[in-house]
Structure 1
Amino acid sequence: MITEGETTTSYPLSPRNRVKRLHERGSYDKATIHGLLDASMLCHVSYVVDGQPYCTPTFFWREENNLYWHGSSASRMLRNQSDGQRACLTVAHLDSLVLARCGFNHSADYRAVMAFGTAYLVTDAAEKERALVAMVDRFFPDRTATLRQSTVQEIKATSVIAMEIEQASAKIRSKGVADDDEDYELPIYAERIPVRTVLGAPEPCPRLLDGVERPASLRGYSEGRLLEDALRDAHFAHYAGG
């Protein structure tokens, strides 16, 4: 059932996820939110344990309206989300530094997402096995099939958390320098400094056996490409646009 403020192409809107400051920068459509999530690998997950807030950085991935992340079975985050914990997962892309003509108007261009839901420990063996494959293949399509199989102990030591996105919002600033009109008459230098995360040249392990070549499946991770483009393409390749 579609809830108030929700459409088939957007997440429901409520005070929890509504962008309050500079609300014109907010977006709730799934295409925008999913695109920003799929272009990232590192997130921050916030939750509360016994009244104490925590925020944990971790790798994550998306499958339709569900988010997954993993970690050590001994971690505080995973231990306290095993029975269902309210959580907020965020990602952010920094696009530029903005130097204006007054301190108040100094800013940054960015794209960010906040996703809300109830996180739970994946205990079903089949779902966990599939998720552990996706944990690698979502970023490096088809790689798991070429690897040594994980041992029972390695699988036991790794936990997977899932969270259906109940609500989410994106917030985007892309305006560059935005001074007050009268400040443009001041003899003060202002500029926008673009920021990009670009892949460097691959550095093969020095202990590679003779004859082991870099697989063609990694060609998307080539020197000079934007990381977000490589991650987004890998997501599409693994999920066929899902």
Structure 2
Amino acid sequence: MEPRNFLKIETVEKLEHYISTNSLTKNTKLPPERELCELLNVSRSTLRAALLELVDRNIIYSTPSAGNYVAPPKQARNLVGVNSMAKDIRNQEDSLTTKILSFTKASANRQTANKLGLDIHAPIYACSRLRFINQQPCYLENVFLSANLLPDFDQLYQEHTSMYQLFDQHYHKPPLTGQERISITYASSEEGKLLKVPKDTPLFFVSGVSYWDDKQPLEYYKALFRGDRFKFVSKITRNSYEKE
């Protein structure tokens, strides 16, 4: 490894340690560059290279003529469990709002019918919505629901309404289990415009089905998540001792 790269990596680690040990919260301003150079015992060029690395990793953000600030942490999407995304986000004390792009009653195509356990052309609701966290567009979601399973859903659901609350409290069909797949895709021009990212920006593509009992699908969804705002986590455990 080149000495310059080693110094940059070491400085990145020092800056991360500084942020962590001083419990700096989001939007907290970092000390001026001169002070950081003295504190970390590094040159100005090495410090700036490390700061750029942290900006690229969305750990800090830089404002021209104003300095460097701690970036809001990425939203953690739990891969284990079927809590609503809205609940997970609000548990992190962030503001979540919704813009409904379209909401229609349609006939299920072959793929949607298969995912929801319906006959082809069965009536469904199709909802496309853009979700904002702290007023920043962060993920784009398409949700498909059985109109027979959830009658009048189009009359009940609005931008300020929680789908999962309606599932639970109005229909008494809370999601209990689910399956989810994650891959990487790239933003189209239209998707980039909605999410405010450049065309071809890498995005998490998530699709899945949640069930309100062991066999009955409740919703089929497809979503695009900004990689700079989300991370996906899971807890791995070993259920029982296995002889190796």
TM class by shorter chain equals under 0.3
Structure with larger RCO (C-alpha < 8 A, sep 6+): 1
Select the structure that is richer in helix: 2
Structure whose CA Rg is larger? 2
TM-score, normalised via structure 1 length: 0.21
TM-score (norm 2): 0.21
